Amino acid sequence: MANNPAHDIAVVGAGIIGVACALRLARQGLRVVVIDPQPPGHGASFGNAGHLATEQVFPIADVSILKRLPGMLLDSMGPLRLDWRYLPRALPWFTRLLLNLRAQPFENTVAGLRALNESSLAAWQRLLGDIQRSELLKVDGSLLAYERSESRQALEALQQRLHQQQVPVDVWQAGAIRETAPQLSERIQGGLFFPRTGHFIDPYRVVTALVDAAKAGGVSFLQQRIAGGQVQDDGVCLHTDNGPINARRVLIACGAHSAPLTAALTGIKVPLDTERGYHLMLPHETGRLPFPVTSLERKFIMTPMSDGLRLAGTVEFAGLQKPANMQRAWQLHRLSQGLFREDLSTEAATPWMGFRPSLPDSLPVIDQACDGKVLLAFGHQHLGLTQAAVTAEMLARMACPASTPAPDLPRRERYRLARF
């Protein structure tokens, strides 16, 4: 079978990354199968905040956070939480994170994020345009708002740093905010507006739209878990409970679950962990905001979607096994209180938790190994939705260098597996 496998590429993982890549690879004429034990889009890609966050070129941790870190981690309902029982497992990851805060690695991270983010919007417009689903993305900008006058200085400093990175940003005073988002309360004093950002009206519908297009283009979907595999002379063999699946190449795109298969196929142990995040979906709150609004002080985002307003955010270090603490999702509603003239309704609200796939240098792996038989696309942390379309273009170029059209794409060197 391995001498003549039915599949050119087996994509393991049907999140936004795997599905976007599968579609692009199929458009290069490759025979693609996507394998996932869950229906497509039921991992982190289901419930993210839907923000095309091209302005987020700085990793969430920097040296300024270090002093505040112990207090933040101890606050069980705070924006950043560590389950102390998970600390022994997380310690090597945290150590690497701290080492990455040194000047040179930090600059590498910023350059790597910036390169991906700069190409993200155009890549999404190409991808959604190709499948005639451009209505799923609104490019109406987003706002980072502040309430306390003490925050003004921090905001100005951020604006300068963003300006240095050529991120388009406008300073908005309270008056401009009242005009465009009249439902926000008087507490909002001003903010930074990012005109080249956007939001998806429903992140899950984005996955299903890509799946529909992929199926129409000949991609098949199998509901199976990949338990391991081997690289062979003429391809790869993947193990499922129902026997082996052979393909010429494999793409590992299992989000936060990508480390074991990467180790089995390449021998490299990636320090992948998860930053668990939560959302609370408020179905009775459509039309409250014209674009996503993030609160600088309260550290969460509110995104208007077709099915309501989504409150999302928080980072919890507790690994992949511990059940969700949905109190953290409900806490997002408490955080929203006072931000609107009239408080948000929780009627029929639904809480959710998902696993952000995070590497300690905040950059994804977008690469190939084992003579090109193993492709890798995972570790997109807080920005997997933003970066999915550009990741798919980079992957397609890697898999079919001759036949891929050539928009300017980020250089692959920054996202190598071999950095670990």
Ligand X SMILES: Cc1cc2nc3c(=O)[nH]c(=O)nc-3n(C[C@H](O)[C@H](O)[C@H](O)COP(=O)(O)OP(=O)(O)OC[C@H]3O[C@@H](n4cnc5c(N)ncnc54)[C@H](O)[C@@H]3O)c2cc1C
As measured in angstroms, the least distance from the Cβ of 85 to ligand X is 21
Q: Which stretch binds ligand X (CB under 6 A): 14-22, 126-134, 164-172, 411-419?
A: 14-22
The backbone torsions φ and ψ at residue 42, rounded to the nearest 5 degrees and listed phi first, read -105, 5
Residue 7 binds ligand X, judged by CB under 6 A: no
Residue 354 binds ligand X, judged by CB under 6 A: yes
Q: Binding string, 246-275, against ligand X, x = CB under 6 A? A: -------xxx-x------------------
Which residues in the 46-85 window bind ligand X by CB under 6 A? 48-51, 53
Could you give the CA distance from residue 218 to residue 222 in angstroms, rounded to a whole number?
13
As measured in angstroms, the least distance from the Cβ of 175 to ligand X is 28
161, two tokens: 């740093």
Q: Which stretch binds ligand X (CB under 6 A): 13-21, 107-115, 175-183, 333-341?
A: 13-21
Could you give the CA distance from residue 292 to residue 151 in angstroms, rounded to a whole number?
20
- Exactly one of 23, 30, 35, 237 binds ligand X (CB under 6 A); that residue is 35
- Ordered DSSP codes for 51-78: EE-TT--S-S--GGGTTTHHHHHH-TTS
- Exactly one of 376, 385, 395, 417 binds ligand X (CB under 6 A); that residue is 385
Residue 114 binds ligand X, judged by CB under 6 A: no
Cβ distance to ligand X smaller for residue 42 or 96: 42
Please answer whether residues 19 and 131 qualify as being in contact, where contact means their C-beta atoms are separated by less than 8 angstroms: no
Question: Which parts of 130-173 are beta strand (E)?
Answer: 137-138, 142-146, 170-173
**3-state secondary structure at position 153:** helix
Could you give the CA distance from residue 363 to residue 383 in angstroms, rounded to a whole number?
10
As measured in angstroms, the least distance from the Cβ of 332 to ligand X is 10
Could you give the CA distance from residue 81 to residue 240 in angstroms, rounded to a whole number?
35
The answer for residues whose C-beta is within 8 angstroms of residue 70's C-beta and 6 or more apart is none
Residue 378 binds ligand X, judged by CB under 6 A: yes
Q: Binding string, 284-323, against ligand X, x = CB under 6 A? A: ----------------------------x-----------
Could you give the CA distance from residue 167 to residue 142 in angstroms, rounded to a whole number?
13
Give the chain's length.
420
- Burial of 379 from C-beta contacts in 10 A (0-12 / 13-18 / 19+): buried
Residue 136 binds ligand X, judged by CB under 6 A: no
As measured in angstroms, the least distance from the Cβ of 34 to ligand X is 9
Residue 38 binds ligand X, judged by CB under 6 A: yes
Residues that bind ligand X (CB under 6 A): 12-18, 35-38, 42-45, 48-51, 53, 225-226, 253-255, 257, 277-279, 312, 354-357, 378, 380-386
